[in-house]
Structure 1
Amino acid sequence: MKKFLIVGLAVILSLTPLSLNFPTSVFAQLDDQRVEVSKKDKIWLEGFGFSEQEINSMSKTSLHNIKEQFKGVNGTVKSSKTEYFKVKVYKENGKTKSKMIKKSKKEALEAVEKIKEEKKKNNPKSSFIETNSASAAYDTENDGWITQTLSVSYLSNGEYLAKTSYNWLQRPGVGFQDAIGITHGNNVDKISGSEFAEHSYRDGLGRHYEFDYSADKKNYYGYGDKFDLKVVGTNEGAYDHQGFMYFKFKRNLSSSNTADLYGHYAHALTSSYFSISLSYGGLSLSGAGESNATDTHVDLTY
């Protein structure tokens, strides 16, 4: 993956590519990238499966890319599912492992609120906990809480959009590179070059962004994307990690009117130098410590 460090919007606009290939991954810094989305555009983005939180923290780069990619096209969400997971980090036979444990929304939000209250009680002078959302909370066991949404939208040009998004409800205790992805069964014909991803987090300087214009792993079963998961920030630890990835697709079987799609998130525990494997309904990492992935599923009827 090609990486370029970009600081501020002015630099982004004046950047001269270092090669003839469009960069597959770009970093941008600070809140001058965050855009104020108009009411009209908010309604338009919701049709592609974007939540209010995603829209409110969206970057200028992402909004520009989406407007170019979906010019003259509207979307309608056909199917969507949101799930909550505890990211359990533990040791077994001397090895550190992680497990994604599916929980209810009530269980997840109550657990995160309890952690936040305990942290505030133990450190009452910390503005970091007092002034920020539950995303800023963390415990001493390196466990975490994350929510994931998978949506499928019908596009007015006859195509479909698959989108997965995540939000760490609790600050991760371990950070290298993580991976997200979307896999599928039959009757999904992915449109090459349609994928895009945004990942972001906050620290004492503001919100930082990373953009991916090409998936790191592609095969018949889907696309997977690696990104940097920061835990160290400037002035404050990194928190409020969130992001999304999408691609467009078409129906390719006239004999069937359904399709299965799965959204995945895998949390790496050791090296950033891992590879992604994709299978029907599954995403796994090789070379990053043992870590299973989420598997949020939607059943699409065309």
Structure 2
Amino acid sequence: MSASFASALGAARDAAAGQHYPQGTLYVVATPIGNTADITLRALHVLQLADTLACEDTRHTHGLLRVYGIDKSSAQLLALHQHNEAQASQTVIALLQQGQRVAYVSDAGTPGVSDPGARLAAAVRAAGLRVVPLPGASSVTAALSVAGAVASGSADGGFVFAGFLPVKNAERASAVQRLATEPRCVVLLEAPHRIHELAAALAVLGERPVTLAREITKQFEDITTQPAQALTAWLDGAPQRARGEFVVLLHPVAVPEDDSASLRVLQLLLPELPLKTAVRLAADITGAPRNALYETALALRKSAESGDKYE
């Protein structure tokens, strides 16, 4: 055990031991996404208390427990990952029905978001058993908290979590085109060996701001906001920029609320002209930013296709 966590275990017992932790319950436990200090006192207590730990990777979890000074035998660790989640969920249900406390952890962050755990939680709840969340580290919320990309107090506030886009080029390009019409912030995830392909696909969004957050909470954490069309050049600027897991945020882009004139011009032109022509003319007539008008035009076109009017 790292000596720095010896006092944390004592603090975990002091802070959390007096709370109620029923048997026959699945505890979904968030673990650090890089910095081992990002563990909650409640998580440390439940990891000690659990009869069985279901893990995305038992070797990874065993090493993490060792850092914290938590001793679990190999028999207490159960592998539960994307390839065996359905089958292993039934094993977890059987253990819960025997009255065990079972904690589930993925390799990093909050389970069930982009990691395994969603099918497990659904199966346990369907069996009439209790699932308790232990919140903590999340790369998604960590990136959102510093990017300034989530609008509040408007109809287009909030964000959309899209996760990993398709691997194949054509499918990825289609997904980007669909997301281009989403007025809210869009959250994507990407692996280092595919980040260049994603950057190339996002280039069609032009000047739309995109935040790349990599190695979040780690020593070489790097968070930058660039125009979508400049992402490839930024990645090529230094070899280390393409290393590590990425959270990618597509910032919302909209015509300013007080620019009603440009919006009205765009609404009049769209039914009569091709989209790009309507955007170019609206920008020339009103002086509004062409990229902002383009995003608005995509949203208006999508709304019209669903049966709504340009109003």
Same fold? TM cut 0.5: no
Q: Rg larger in 1 or in 2?
A: 2
The two structures have a TM-score, normalised by structure 2, of: 0.29
The two structures have a TM-score, normalised by structure 1, of: 0.29
Higher fraction of helix:
2
